[in-house]
């Protein structure tokens, strides 16, 4: 998640905080200090309520962190790369570098989070029960933590993707049908249904006077809906692209330029008249570089006539794929490197260009034709 700063590293896992977390922290502290604690434990001073509120809110986020660590540690123990944990306005998120490889793995990684929250709730509940005769801030904090962890555990068990319960549902359907994609589509569909219920409930709360609580619920619904929709679309794209080769979507026989051309010819004849943004540079039929608008930016216009393409072109790194590569691989490179297009290279020459637009056009065409999956295409997931 962008716009977050690194806090600590626990067991080799980077813990970050997204700036929206600060808003959640302030809101929760305020609700606790002005509402929850004065209602449940009357008669304390305002300062006591606020100090208790701050400590309880911090411990709530520590609980969320423990929940996420449980996901991450189980994923890592199964050999999946863990990129880190980010705390943000709606809780926490563990970023895994890869999807689970089996339904059981998915189930184990998903279920351990809510299980951890429910265990924490039980532990805090015992603590509260043992100290319930005292009307003190520690008792109040234990009561709150028992309650909030139980709610966290139960909320995350709701069966809509991307909630943990939705992942459990996906694992179950995946296990039963053997299709990861179908399982994701169904779990994300249930997730969107749940999200709309949340939005409706939130709006109802706002209309009946609970403005802040209602908005909060509606926002959670909105967030769940966008996350579910994003994974559903991603699944459609992945499924459509499964087994598809770069050679099927690339633009063939790209126009090339030779290194001896002057930059003013490049700008006038290629960038301006033919609308190119980048061109492979070929010498004796072999790829020697790529030249783009960015490369020319650094040259003053009065030097264009005297500057050769060879002087401005990029020679390393030349990101490329082979015509036989999976489109998924090209898509990954484009995203990871923030590139607009990739060269398709065979036998040392550029034989094509593939861009995100080419790939999306293919997905759009397949969807317009009503083809979600090519017959005979085989992938890792069946």
List of residues contacting Zn ion (CB under 5 A): 113, 156, 164
68 in catalytic set: yes
Asked whether the beta carbons of 78 and 108 are under 8 A apart, the reply is yes
How far is Cα 198 from Cα 216, in angstroms, rounded to an integer? 10
Q: Residue 163 Cβ, how far from Zn ion at the closest point, in Å?
A: 8
Helical ranges in 252-326 per DSSP H: 263-265, 293-297, 309-312
Half-sphere exposure of 129 (CA within 13 A, CB side): 8
Q: Residue 194 Cβ, how far from Zn ion at the closest point, in Å?
A: 15
Complex with Zn ion: residue 114 or 221, whichever CB lies closer: 114
CA 165, 169, 175, 176 dihedral sign is positive
Q: Residue 232 Cβ, how far from Zn ion at the closest point, in Å?
A: 19
Task: Tell me the C-alpha to C-alpha distance, in Å, between residue 330 and each of 91, 229, 246, 250, 358.
Answer: 33, 23, 7, 10, 11
Strand partners of residue 163: none
Complex with Zn ion: residue 106 or 164, whichever CB lies closer: 164
Contacts of 139 (CB under 8 A, 6+ apart): 41, 128, 131, 132
Task: Tell me the C-alpha to C-alpha distance, in Å, between residue 344 and each of 248, 320, 355.
Answer: 12, 6, 10
Complex with Zn ion: residue 115 or 236, whichever CB lies closer: 115
Complex with Zn ion: residue 122 or 215, whichever CB lies closer: 122
Q: Which residue is nearest to Zn ion (CB)?
A: 113
Asked whether the beta carbons of 239 and 109 are under 8 A apart, the reply is no
Question: Which one, of 92, 124, 85, 117, lies nearest residue 25 by Cα?
Answer: 92
* Tokens matching residue 61: 């986020």
Complex with Zn ion: residue 153 or 254, whichever CB lies closer: 153
Task: Out of 14, 68, 229, 255, pick the active-site residue.
Answer: 68
Asked whether the beta carbons of 352 and 251 are under 8 A apart, the reply is yes
Q: Residue 356 Cβ, how far from Zn ion at the closest point, in Å?
A: 31
Complex with Zn ion: residue 109 or 309, whichever CB lies closer: 109
Q: Residue 108 Cβ, how far from Zn ion at the closest point, in Å?
A: 13
How far is Cα 274 from Cα 270, in angstroms, rounded to an integer? 5
Q: Residue 67 Cβ, how far from Zn ion at the closest point, in Å?
A: 6
Hey, which residues are catalytic here?
68
């Amino acid at each position: 998640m962008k716009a977050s700063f690194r806090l600590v590293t626990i067991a080799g896992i980077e813990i970050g905080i997204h700036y929206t977390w600060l808003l959640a922290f302030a809101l929760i502290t305020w609700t606790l200090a002005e509402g929850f604690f004065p209602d449940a434990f009357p008669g304390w001073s305002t300062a006591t309520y606020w100090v208790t509120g701050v400590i309880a809110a911090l411990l709530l986020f520590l609980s969320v962190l423990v929940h996420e660590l449980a996901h991450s540690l189980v994923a890592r123990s199964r050999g999946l790369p863990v990129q880190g944990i980010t705390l943000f306005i709606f809780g926490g998120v563990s970023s895994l570098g890869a999807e689970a490889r089996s339904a059981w793995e998915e189930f184990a990684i998903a279920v351990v989070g809510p299980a951890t929250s429910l265990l924490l709730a039980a532990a805090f509940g015992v603590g509260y029960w043992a100290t319930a005769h005292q009307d003190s801030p520690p008792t109040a904090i234990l009561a709150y933590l028992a309650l909030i962890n139980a709610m966290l555990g139960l909320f995350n068990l709701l069966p809509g993707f991307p909630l943990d319960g939705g992942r459990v549902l996906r694992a179950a359907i995946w296990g039963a049908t053997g299709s990861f994609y179908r399982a994701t589509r169904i779990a994300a569909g249930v997730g969107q249904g749940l999200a709309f219920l949340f939005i409706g409930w939130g709006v109802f709360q706002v209309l009946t006077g609970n403005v802040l609580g209602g908005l909060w619920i509606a926002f959670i619904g909105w967030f769940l809906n966008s996350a579910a929709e994003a994974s559903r679309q991603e699944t459609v794209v992945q499924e459509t692209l499964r087994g598809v080769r770069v050679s099927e979507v690339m633009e063939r026989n790209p126009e090339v330029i030779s290194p001896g051309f002057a930059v003013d010819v490049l700008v006038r004849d290629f960038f301006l008249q033919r609308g190119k943004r980048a061109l492979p540079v070929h010498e004796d039929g072999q790829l020697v570089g790529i030249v783009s608008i960015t490369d020319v930016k650094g040259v003053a216009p009065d030097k264009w006539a005297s500057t050769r393409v060879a002087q401005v072109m990029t020679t390393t790194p030349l990101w490329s794929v082979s015509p036989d590569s999976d489109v998924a691989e090209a898509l990954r490179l484009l995203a990871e490197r923030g590139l607009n297009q990739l060269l398709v290279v065979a036998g040392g020459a550029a034989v094509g260009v593939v861009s995100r637009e080419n790939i999306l056009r293919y997905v759009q065409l397949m969807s317009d034709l009503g083809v979600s999956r090519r017959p005979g295409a085989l992938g890792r997931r069946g």
